[in-house]
Chains A and B, each alone.
Chain A
C-alpha cells in the first residue's frame, strides 16, 4: 500500500512561474503582453493566487513622480543605498528607481485603485528613510491604495494574467528543479489536491516563491512563507546570497504577529516593560520611541532578555507593552484607527484604556537567490544558470542590501518582474526548442523517506522548537555562542525530523505531509541563516552581533553560501556593485561607503 510517487503527467510550456504572488504575476503579465500566444503555467501553494502574501501588504510603494518638482531619482537611490548599509548593488538600485514611475502607471492604467488627491491624481505619503536632498527632509514618495496596496497589486497583476489566458495550478508545490549542465528545464511539481506528481518542462523557469518568515515563531508573514524557493536552489547545489540579512519589525502584535505600524510610536505611544517603566530613554535618551526600527527592536529584545518582559498566557510569548492610553480621543480616532482595530479584533483590548502587548516580529528577508540585474539566477562564480530566473522576496539582486526601506519591496516586485518578463519574451523567440526531456532525481527519495519514517516525533512540535530557537538565538541579537547553540539544535532537529512518522499515508491533501516537507525547507534555511550570521563578524543593517557591534570594512561584500550536504557549508563572496559611485557623475560622492545615521 505504498503511495505512488511516480510522475503521472508531463506538461510543456514556454514559461513556468513558481509562485503566483505579485512578483510572479508581474513577470507573467509582461510576457503575455508581449507574446499573447505564449504558454505560461503559474503555480501557487495557496488555494488561489489571490491568497498569496502580497495581498496583505498595506503601506505603499515608492516611486519618484517625474512631475514632482521636489523629488528626484538621485534622492530615492541615495535613500535606498544608505538604508541598505552600503550593501545594495548600485546598478540594480539605479535600474529599479529609474523605471519605478512607469511601473506605477502600468498598474494604474490596468485598473489598480490607487488613492487620489482632491484633483484626482495619485496621492503620496511619506515613510521612514525616504528623504529629499540626501537626508534633509521627509519625501512624499509612496503611492498607495488605502491600507491595501499589496491587494491592489495582486488583484491587478492576477487580473491581467487571467485576461490573457494563463494556466494556473493552485495548491501545489514545486519540489525539485530540473537542472543539468547549468541549464534549467523546469521542475517537478506535487499537486496536493490530486495527490499526484507532475513534470513541467519549460523554456524559462521563474522562482517567485516569496519570503521565509515562518523560520521565526513571531512573524508578520503568512503561513505558507517557508522559503521553499531558497531551499529548492540549495537542494540543487546552487548558493543563496546574504541569508543572514533578515529584517525584524519592532512592534508585531503578540499572538498573530500582525504589524502594528510605526505610526503608534510617531503619535506618542510609549513602550513599557513589566515594571511599567518607559525604557526607551535608557537606549536612546534623545530620540526615545522615535529611534530607527532596528534600534527599537533591540531595545525591546534587551528588556525581554533581561527579564523585564511579560509572558503572554494565551500565546506563551514574551512581550513588552505599548501604552497608548494617554493619547487624545482625536489621535485614536483619526490617526491610528486601523492599528487600534487590530488590537480590538485580535486581542479584545481597548488601546484607549489598556496596555497593548507587542514584540519584535520577523518581517522581511533581504537575502535570497542571487541574480544579476535581469533577474537571471547565478551560481557562486557569477555564471548564469540558463533558463532560470528569480524575482520578488525570494531573490536578491540586490536592491535592499542589509536593510530594506519601507515600500521598496512592492516596488521591486513590479520593476524586476517586468525586466524578467522582457528577458523571457526574448528567450522564447531565441530558443524555440530549448525544452529537454529530463527526469527528477531527488524528490522521490525524499518523499519515500517521509512515508517510511517510523518514530514518535511530531512534525508540528519540531517545527515549533526550530522557530523558537531561531527567534531566541539568531533573531534581533546574535552572538557566536548563541549561533553555535542554534546550529547544534538545528542539526539535532533535523535528525529528529527523520524519525517523524506520518499519521496518514494518503497523498491527497495531506497537510501533515506538506508540513513535513516544509520542515525540511525551514531547517535548510535556518542553517543557512545561522552559518552566514556566524561568518559575518560585524553588525550591519538588520544583522546585529552582540560580540561585534560595529560595521567593518572587511565585510563589504555579499555572503554567498551553499550547502552540498545538509550541515556542510561553503562560504564565498560577491562584490557589491558601486557603479553609481564609480561613474563619477553629479552627486556620485553620496554613493560612497557612508555612515548609516539618521
Chain B
C-alpha cells in the first residue's frame, strides 16, 4: 500500500470565459485510491470547483473516461499505485477525452453529443423477427451468440473513439461500429440491408486503418478491431 505524493496537472476549461488552463494540484494519497477518489479529495479539501464526471465508479457505466498522460482510460478503475507503475512517475497530466465531443467544463465532455455517433447506427433492432408462436423467446444457440457476445459488453466510454485517429474525420468511431455489428449479427434483426449499408457507408468501417488502438485502450478488453475486421471481410453472417 503506502502513501504517495501526487501531482496532478489538470486541464481546465471555463465555458463562460471560453478559456483553457492547466492547474496543478498536489496531494497525498494511499496507493489504492483511485483517480475519482483523488478528484473528490480535491473537491473536499482544496478546490470544490474542479468538475469531473462519474456514475457507477466501478467500471460498469463508462461515465468517467479521461486521458491520463495521454492514455484514454476510466478514472474509476485507475489506482494510484498502478498509475505510478504504469507511467513511472508521480506526476500526471489529466485531460478530458479529445476527438469525441466538445468539453463542457474541465474534465467533462458533452456526452449527449458524443452519443450522436452511436444513435446514428440505430442501437436497437430496426425490424424485429416475429417471436415464435405461443409467447416464447427466440431460440438462439449459444454457439451463434458466442460470435457477437463480446461486442455487447461495450459501455460506450468512448476511450476507443478518442484513441482512434480516424474518428476525427467522418468515421463514426469504433464503438458506434460495434453497436451496428451486434445487430448485424443478431438473428432477431431482419433489417440486414440497412445495417450493412450503414457499416459500409462513408462513415463506416472502411475509414478504419486497422491500427488496433481501439482494442489496445478498451477498458473492457473488447477486441474491437477484430469485429471491425470481420465486417470489412464481409464475415458477419454465419457461414
Partner of A509, one of B44, B51, B82, B112: B51
The residues in B between 55 and 94 inclusive whose CB is less than 8 angstroms from any CB of A are 55-63, 76-77, 79, 81-82
The residues in A between 91 and 146 inclusive whose CB is less than 8 angstroms from any CB of B are 102, 104-105, 108-111, 113-114, 116-122, 146
Q: Cβ of B81: which chain A residues have Cβ within 8 Å of it?
A: 348
CB pair B58–A256 under 8 Å, yes or no, is yes
Say how far B48's CB is from chain A's closest CB, in angstroms.
4
Say how far B92's CB is from chain A's closest CB, in angstroms.
18
Q: Does A334 contact B (CB under 8 A)?
A: no
Q: Cβ of B152: which chain A residues have Cβ within 8 Å of it?
A: 113, 155
The residues in A between 148 and 188 inclusive whose CB is less than 8 angstroms from any CB of B are 148, 151, 155-156, 159-160, 162-163, 168, 170-171
Q: Does A597 contact B (CB under 8 A)?
A: no
The residues in B between 184 and 213 inclusive whose CB is less than 8 angstroms from any CB of A are 186, 188-189
Q: Cβ of A502: which chain B residues have Cβ within 8 Å of it?
A: 48
CB pair A160–B112 under 8 Å, yes or no, is no
Q: Does B234 contact A (CB under 8 A)?
A: no
The answer for the CA separation of A510 and B48 in the assembled complex, in Å, is: 9
The answer for the CA separation of A442 and B47 in the assembled complex, in Å, is: 29
CB pair A162–B61 under 8 Å, yes or no, is no
CB pair B122–A460 under 8 Å, yes or no, is no
The 5 closest A-B pairs by CB, nearest first: A314-B30, A159-B124, A460-B44, A47-B111, A120-B139
Partner of B112, one of A102, A111, A168, A515: A168
The residues in A between 482 and 524 inclusive whose CB is less than 8 angstroms from any CB of B are 502-504, 506, 508-512, 515
Say how far B198's CB is from chain A's closest CB, in angstroms.
15
Q: What are 9 A-B pairs with beta-carbon distances under 8 A?
A: A105-B135, A111-B125, A116-B142, A122-B137, A162-B122, A171-B112, A255-B34, A346-B77, A460-B44
Q: Cβ of B33: which chain A residues have Cβ within 8 Å of it?
A: 255, 314-315
Q: Does A408 contact B (CB under 8 A)?
A: no
Q: Cβ of A196: which chain B residues have Cβ within 8 Å of it?
A: none
CB pair B55–A223 under 8 Å, yes or no, is yes
Q: Cβ of A255: which chain B residues have Cβ within 8 Å of it?
A: 32-34, 37
User: What is the number of residues of chain A that contact chain B, defined by CB distance less than 8 Å?
Assistant: 67
CB pair B142–A51 under 8 Å, yes or no, is no
Scoring A102, A109, A458 by chain B CB atoms within 10 A of each residue's CB, the highest score goes to A109
Say how far A381's CB is from chain B's closest CB, in angstroms.
38
Additional A-B contact list (20), CB under 8 Å, known A56-B56, A168-B112: A47-B63, A47-B108, A48-B114, A50-B115, A51-B62, A52-B61, A56-B61, A110-B125, A111-B183, A117-B142, A120-B138, A120-B141, A146-B149, A171-B111, A255-B34, A348-B32, A458-B44, A460-B48, A508-B105, A512-B49
B105 and chain A: residue at smallest CB distance: A509
User: What is the number of residues of chain B that contact chain A, defined by CB distance less than 8 Å?
Assistant: 70
The answer for the CA separation of A48 and B153 in the assembled complex, in Å, is: 17
Partner of B111, one of A51, A313, A458, A508: A51
CB pair A110–B124 under 8 Å, yes or no, is yes
CB pair B1–A313 under 8 Å, yes or no, is yes
CB pair B139–A119 under 8 Å, yes or no, is yes
The answer for the CA separation of A504 and B58 in the assembled complex, in Å, is: 29
Q: Does B215 contact A (CB under 8 A)?
A: no
The residues in A between 60 and 113 inclusive whose CB is less than 8 angstroms from any CB of B are 102, 104-105, 108-111, 113
Partner of B145, one of A116, A148, A170, A512: A116
Q: Does A53 contact B (CB under 8 A)?
A: yes
Say how far A142's CB is from chain B's closest CB, in angstroms.
15
B144 and chain A: residue at smallest CB distance: A120
